Structure 1
Amino acid sequence: MTTGPAGEDPAVRSDENRPAKAARRVALGVGGAVVLLAALDAYVVVTVLIDIAEDVGIPVNRLERATPVVTGFLLGYVAAMPLLGRLSDRYGRRPLIHACLAAFALGSVLTALAAGEAMVVAGRTVQGVAGGALLPITMALIADLWGERERPMALGAVGAAQELGSALGPLYGGLLAALPRTSFLGVELGGWHAIFWINVPLAALAAVAVHRCVPPPSPPAVRAADGTGAVERADGTGTVGRVDGTGGALLALALALLVAGLYNPDPAKAVLPSWGLPLIAAGLLAGAAFVRWEIRSPVRLLDLSGTRKGPLLATLGASFLTGAALLVTMVFVQFTAQTLLEMEALEAAAQVLGWFLIALPVGAVAGGLLARRLGDRSVAVTGLLVAATGYALMSRWPLDLAGARPQMSADLVVAGLGLGLVIAPVSAAVLRVTPAAQHGVASAAVVVARMMGMLIGIAGVSAWGFYRFQSLTAHLDTPLPFGVDPAVYARRMADYLARVDAALHLEYTEMFLVTAVLCLIGAVVALFMPGRGA
């Protein structure tokens, strides 16, 4: 064992030198607030996606062109999360958090100023890269400041901030988007733009709080000489951090290729574009290369060595499928309310999607309590089965949704409770099968898996859904008011809109049925999660 000058254990010396409890709690609060800010923006566009689409010139019958606004953020979020978390080992937590907050503010400004699709997607992607890095850096900060015995509670608080963002994000976005539209020097400040403008002062306040409350960087890094291309930091306490740049690049490449292959800007003739299958195949190859690299490399992006791989992968798989169901619900329930019930963004989020958002944290709390008595695996399987039931009921929503509001609310509560039940058992199961020293990276792995599920799930399910809508409406001709009696035109337009609504209704209900199948698959996967004695 390496010892200090007087034969002292560095780990003991490190514990003695940890900041006082009050200072650590303040740092935890600041870190949690930073994570919450990023988590809110992961879900904030759910409420206003149609409004953004309209403002940047995307018609309501071509909403497939708006999906990169969601997937761009998620891609940046997932790709950056493990890599930049490790990079903070080299440069220190505080400088990396500052850099991420600055990039987050920049991405917000780009999004708020966007006048076209490309700029919105670019801004959201920059936001995603910055936001995705904040969670693992904060978790690494917790590992720096808390001893092994106290660390799980602190990590749980940061995880709770991440989960809170999923519940509050759509409502938060709807509230800000409800601000009156105003402009200054030709720059739009109100409406959905306010969601992103407010991030600038919030990021600045967070940066000040981080500077005052987060400890300064450790001693400088030195480059590893093992030929892996990693960087290494020796901080005087025996802590060593390395950055797996190759693994990070392979993961980002795999995800980018899969998402690009699933995105079809013109789904009128096929589910996938002409380049879809080649890009998906290339993405799978890149994913295989990533797995091979992680097995063989001495430096791993998510180092969970020493754990039982079967139960671990099953748990992460359940988290992946839960994430897919979660985002499909948030996006397409909101679409349903705004297109078929003709609600405003905030009204739709509060009165329709809100039932799901309320049930989700209630289910999460219940899942944590039940898992103590029944075990993580049993509760996760039950939760996914309950969620599958909720989505199966949602797939049977009638065309006359205005007369079925109580049924919609009840079904959304069932789905939300089911998915909520899965959250705590999945996190607890991963922590139970990993050594205490790896709890930070294990917690990040659960979130990475869920966000990957959101990314791939929304890309794949929406590709099918938008293709179905285009195929259902391909034979419809938009009525024109020229050369016909106004009454005839009004009748034709009403018939046309009724047919479009019927196509949208079928699209949405089929997507909820697909989501029910995903939850059933998730329940089967969850059967292989670690049992009580694991």
Structure 2
Amino acid sequence: MSTPSLTAAATAQAIHPPTEQEISRVFVGLVIVLALGAIDQSIVATALPRIVSDLGGMSHLSWVVTAYVLASTATMPLYGKLSDQYGRKPVIYFAIITFLLGSVLSGAARNLMELIVFRAIQGAGAGGLLPLAQIIIGDMVPPTQRGKRQGVVAGIFALCSVVGPVIGGLITDMLSWHWIFYVNLPVGAVALIIIGRTLRQYTPLHARRIDYLGSVLMTASTVAFLLVLTLGGSEWPWASAPIALLGAFALITGVLFVRHVKHEPEPVLPLALFHNRLFVIASLVMALTFMGLMGASLFFPLFFQLVMGVSPAHSGLLTGPLMVGIALASLLNGRVLMRAGRYKRIVVVGLAMSTVAFGVLAWSAATSQSLGIIEPSIFILGAGLGLVTPNVTIAVQSALAPVHRGVGTATLTFFRSLGALLGVAGSGAIFAWRLRAQGGTTPSAGMSPEGGMASASALHHVTDAAVMMYRHAIASTFTIGACIVACAFVLILILPEVALNDHHHATPAPAAD
């Protein structure tokens, strides 16, 4: 009954499509928003030693990062749905303001517990930054032109992961750790002004009913599941009572959520999304890709420091080709996509490159190959990923009706983050198991993505036998990463392809295998 009003915003924008100048101005604001969210994690990770020296609470230090990740991941689908109901502009305002509020409170924290709570608030805002930027790009830019913009998004994340630690170290040394949060304020204010002046507001006229119960159930189930992944095997054993209770709570609330959305006229996460074959396959591909990548790349610094004997600073440089590959391939992707008008072939090539690169890395790690083989493999791995992420996002946006493109894009980003967390938890468990099987012990540094690779230098002077154990344990994580990305490669082969077009808000074309 709401069909005419569902497309009111799309009709308005189709009649008066944004000019290239307008798109460029909005994109500047979105780039700033993306940089805020992307650079935050690496900046904070650099300042953690100084934070704990001021506030204490070393045993709970990892929660400074964990609280942010949990909140940002759990809120992603909700932002997408709200943007479909209320329009993109007010929702991205809310996300930025929430992020800035969390930044102010985090900078003013007087103890570690306050900082953890305030980081969760900051994460709740950050959960909307990436998906909303991708959604707005999808609204404004025709599918055939979208690869160029989405490629820049991936490039920004790669760049921020490289410069973030440097900026975080400079701010912490020259000012104090408080300013790694306060510096977000002027940057966020500029983003708000630019978006306020340049982004049009097309408010959909269909039902604005908020699914409160569905939102609570979905968030509760997601947070409980993420807590299982985060705490299992580290804070508590996998077979412990707290992990079992969290798992049971996640399962029960998840079942209740599915039952609820079947009868809710405006569910926070429409089940109709999962009736779309392309969306389901794309979500699995995205989750598997980041599961393999994050699970294995977590151990790059540990491998370089413990096994190859380089310094922490040098190990950071040696992991740089991964981000360089992502950035270059993402930027090149837009030009290739514009010429081809098809995305599936590019994703197939990207996943094939990543699978082969992972396999070579696993072989290189196990057989003591030189950096002359390892470094090009890391670059190819990044380049393959740079061809996957933008095109899978474009595939989903092209396959969904306008009314579901917001929540669909945000949910795809959610599966990406969920896959990364699964990869980190799984690779840590595999690494620890392999060491125990060889009679070794697990360095706590290897288990913590937020933290502790710097402390791996303390393990520098280990015996040759210990180095060999670490070598084979880390090679196992690379092998598992290769297998997971290979599964994504197999899935992408059956992905339907929707022909891209040059029109805004076009109805999805029939899919072709």
TM range (shorter): 0.7 to 0.9
CA distance in structure 1 between the partners assigned to 2:165 and 2:374 by the alignment: 20
CA distance in structure 1 between the partners assigned to 2:466 and 2:182 by the alignment: 35
Whether 2:190 is the aligned partner of 1:205: answer yes
Give 1:458's aligned amino acid.
Answer: V
The CA RMSD over aligned residues, in Å, is: 4.4
* Contact 2:299 2:474 survives alignment (8 Å): yes
Deviation string 1:279-334 (CA, Å, 9 cap, x unpaired) is 33432443344344344422133447488533321111001111222333443323
Shift in alpha-carbon separation, 1:16–1:313, aligned structure 2, 3 A: closer
* Contact 1:72 1:128 survives alignment (8 Å): yes
* Contact 2:350 2:385 survives alignment (8 Å): yes
Question: Which residue of 2 is the match for residue 79 of structure 1?
Answer: 74
Cα deviation for residue 377 of structure 1 reads 4.2
Whether 2:479 is the aligned partner of 1:513: answer yes
CA distance in structure 1 between the partners assigned to 2:479 and 2:109 by the alignment: 35
Cα deviation for residue 108 of structure 1 reads 3.4
Q: Which structure is higher in helix share?
A: 2
| Aligned counterpart for 1:326 among listed residues 288, 293, 300 | 293
Deviation string 1:228-281 (CA, Å, 9 cap, x unpaired) is xxxxxxx6x745444333333333222222222233476599555443344334
Cα deviation for residue 511 of structure 1 reads 1.9
Q: Which moved more, 1:22-31 or 1:372-381?
A: 372-381
CA distance in structure 2 between the partners assigned to 1:377 and 1:92 by the alignment: 30
Question: Which residue of 2 is the match for residue 56 of structure 1?
Answer: 52
Give 1:36's aligned amino acid.
Answer: A
Question: Which residue of 1 is the match for residue 26 of structure 2?
Answer: 27
CA distance in structure 1 between the partners assigned to 2:333 and 2:281 by the alignment: 18
Deviation string 1:38-75 (CA, Å, 9 cap, x unpaired) is 2333x525xx7476368637xxxxx9976655543332
TM-score by length of 2: 0.75
Give 1:80's aligned amino acid.
Answer: T
Percent of aligned pairs sharing the same letter:
23
Whether 2:120 is the aligned partner of 1:125: answer yes
Whether 2:489 is the aligned partner of 1:523: answer yes
| Aligned counterpart for 1:171 among listed residues 162, 181, 193 | 162
Deviation string 1:12-38 (CA, Å, 9 cap, x unpaired) is 667667887755542343134213322
Give 2:153's aligned amino acid.
Answer: Q
Map residues 30-179 of structure 1 onto 2, 5 A cutoff: 30-41=29-40, 44=42, 49=45, 52=48, 56=52, 68-88=63-83, 93-109=88-104, 118=113, 121-138=116-133, 146=140, 150-152=141-143, 159-179=150-170
Question: Which residue of 2 is the match for residue 227 of structure 1?
Answer: none
CA distance in structure 2 between the partners assigned to 1:288 and 1:115 by the alignment: 40
> Of the two structures, which has the highest relative contact order with CA contacts closer than 8 Å and spacing of 6 or more?
2
Whether 2:212 is the aligned partner of 1:245: answer yes
CA distance in structure 2 between the partners assigned to 1:68 and 1:40 by the alignment: 18
Give 1:33's aligned amino acid.
Answer: I
| Aligned counterpart for 1:426 among listed residues 392, 397, 419 | 392
Question: Which residue of 1 is the match for residue 374 of structure 2?
Answer: 408
CA distance in structure 1 between the partners assigned to 2:473 and 2:113 by the alignment: 26
| Aligned counterpart for 1:380 among listed residues 339, 347, 362 | 347
Cα deviation for residue 204 of structure 1 reads 2.7
CA distance in structure 2 between the partners assigned to 1:122 and 1:266 by the alignment: 23
CA distance in structure 2 between the partners assigned to 1:40 and 1:161 by the alignment: 15
Corresponding residue SS for 2:299: helix
* Contact 1:64 1:264 survives alignment (8 Å): no
Whether 2:357 is the aligned partner of 1:357: answer no
CA distance in structure 1 between the partners assigned to 2:465 and 2:90 by the alignment: 55
Deviation string 1:214-234 (CA, Å, 9 cap, x unpaired) is 45x78xxxxxxxxxxxxxxxx
CA distance in structure 2 between the partners assigned to 1:494 and 1:13 by the alignment: 63
Whether 2:303 is the aligned partner of 1:336: answer yes
CA distance in structure 2 between the partners assigned to 1:498 and 1:452 by the alignment: 37
* Contact 2:79 2:407 survives alignment (8 Å): no
Bigger Rg, which one: 1
Q: Which runs of 5+ in 2 are unaligned?
A: 444-458, 499-511
Map residues 454-465 of structure 1 onto 2, 5 A cutoff: 454-465=420-431
Question: Which residue of 2 is the match for residue 487 of structure 1?
Answer: none
Q: Which moved more, 1:30-39 or 1:16-25?
A: 16-25
Deviation string 1:151-188 (CA, Å, 9 cap, x unpaired) is 5478656644532333112212122134275466xxx2
Cα deviation for residue 426 of structure 1 reads 1.8
* Contact 1:338 1:348 survives alignment (8 Å): yes
TM-score by length of 1: 0.72
Shift in alpha-carbon separation, 1:275–1:213, aligned structure 2, 3 A: same
* Contact 2:237 2:243 survives alignment (8 Å): no
* Contact 1:266 1:273 survives alignment (8 Å): no
Q: How many residues align?
A: 475
Corresponding residue SS for 1:56: helix
